[in-house]
Structure 1
Amino acid sequence: MSSTRPDDAHGWSLARWAEPGDGADAWRRALAARLGDGSGAGDGAGDVRARWQRLLDRADAGTPVDVLLPAVGRSVGRGPLVPGADPLGPEGLLGTVDDLARALLVTDAVTAGRVGTTGVPSLHERADATERRGLLRSAAALPGGAVPAALVEDALRANDTRLVAAAVGPCADVLDDEVWRQAVLKCLFVGVPLSCVHRLADRADERLAEMAARYVAERVAAGRPVPVDVPAVLPAGSPALAQAGLDDAAQHGAPDRLAAAAAARALLGVAPPAHPTAAEEAR
């Protein structure tokens, strides 16, 4: 369990979705800290906190969660939880203020019995992409399986990187191993940092390394760079590295392939060929 606390904003943003600790209470403190200076919605702190409190009051009075979810962004803002720390800047790939607020609304509704755990899929059916991110994020503090695999898989089919990033968070625990591996590969394809993947070190295996190696081979053959995150799933010394075909790529002689193969070897800790290829000798 991480010792990171919600008042450690940068550490919290990286770890707290994955390790909710004391669950929604930790999220509540983190959101309060984020709204404390009014930066959540770009105006006075009092105004932001007042709008959020009105939403909470409406929830307590019985307003259905699906009615409240669309209003969250306007109430608390849509910026990243930790400005300047997110890998995709204002897109908030690690989570946004409204992600957190929506996750809290859903979690509170389930805890209070206003929404049963079986009601989360019905919320999903009426939600847009931003609202679905909150539903996916809420899985970190809900009973296991409250966000079923079908919902997570639906998010993984999207081209929205923020939705994909949410889908590989704690809710990805419901995915079987093969679907989960494909989700990790999807992150590499669309540019979602693997730091977003929940329990990556625990679940990564040689099968995933083989899939990553084939992906590397395809990138190098096309003369394209390999994402810097690949070593997280294709470590130095892995038998799967042989399937990356880095030495074979150099044999073709195209400058872009030579450059891509050399860069990939450096990234993955693969030694250069013992003997220069004909293409390399001709350069």
Structure 2
Amino acid sequence: MEHDDWLEHAVRQTARAPVTIRRWFPMVARKVGDDHVEARIRLLAALPDRTEIPGLYRYGDVHERRAVVLSAGRLGVDDMLLDLARDALRSNDPRLVTAAADPAVVAALPDDEVDQALMKVIFMGIPTARVPALVARVTPLTSRRVAGFVLERVCAGREVAAEVWQVIDRYPPVAELEQIREQLHADDPERRRAAAGALARRG
């Protein structure tokens, strides 16, 4: 069976007998190839209701879980999909974290959870360019939190990515920035080096 024919067959069967998606969903990558995310979302969209979705996420591999989370943009975010996206945000897999930063999901999250998600992205070293919906929700508190993270890194003598400044400088926090500058005169040479490097990356 050709790839397109297989997918159309799977979509029809899913619509008629939702439980069969448990068979089709794991097979998608092997049957469809590079378009497996979109194909999985098509299968999810064919479901007459969403009762099968939590199980597909719970027992799926990272690619299957990622497709479930990304389906929020097509299917619309309800409490169930939002809970699954929150689970993805708690994971340590950058593929799941960035998938859960889908604009439809981010729009449904309160500010504090958006901040937590963005902080995790920065902590994990995920480029913020991959999560524009999170960056768009930056508040003055977000800027202070990220500046506090930079201060912690500097005090530990560790480097920070240049892109943190696009978050911090949305609402520059005076006190935290001054504390970072003070490390230029710290007794510890590693702190001085880290502070100079961080501030130089501010551009």
Secondary structure of the 2:201 match is helix
Change (3 A) 1:148 1:61: closer
Partner residue, 1:70? 26
TM-score (norm 1): 0.62
Verify the 8 A CA contact 1:155 1:163 in the aligned structure 2. Answer: yes
Distance 1:247 1:216, change over 3 A: same
Whole-Å separation in 2 of the counterparts to 1:130 and 1:201: 25
Q: Are 1:100 and 2:51 counterparts?
A: no
Q: Is the 8 A contact 1:212 1:234 kept in 2?
A: yes
**Which structure 1 residue ranges, 5 or more long, are not aligned?**
1-46, 79-96, 270-283
Q: Deviations over 1:121-156 (max 9, x none)?
A: 343233232211001111111223265332111111
Q: Distance in 2 between matches of 1:117 and 1:252?
A: 57
Percent of paired sites with the same residue: 33
TM-score when scaled to structure 2? 0.84
Q: Secondary structure at the match of 2:157?
A: coil
More helix by share: 2
Kindly state the Cα deviation for residue 201 of structure 1 after the two structures are TM-superposed. 4.8
* Runs (5+) with no aligned partner, structure 2: none
Return the alpha-carbon distance in structure 1 between the equivalents of residues 11 and 81 of structure 2.
Answer: 24
Residue pairs, 1:203-222, within 5 angstroms: 203-222=137-156
Partner of 1:81: none
Structure 2: how far apart are the matches of 1:136 and 1:158?
13
Is residue 56–residue 64 contact of structure 2 (8 Å, CA) maintained in 1? no
CA drift at 1:183:
0.3
- How many pairs align? 197
Cα 1:222–1:76 shift into 2, 3 Å: farther
Counterpart pick for 1:178 among 97, 112, 118: 112
Aligned to 2:97: 164
Aligned partner letter, 2:36: D
Mapping 1:75-154, distance limit 5 Å:
75-77=31-33, 97-107=35-45, 109=46, 114-117=47-50, 119-145=52-78, 148-154=81-87
Contact 1:220 1:257 in 2 (8 A): yes
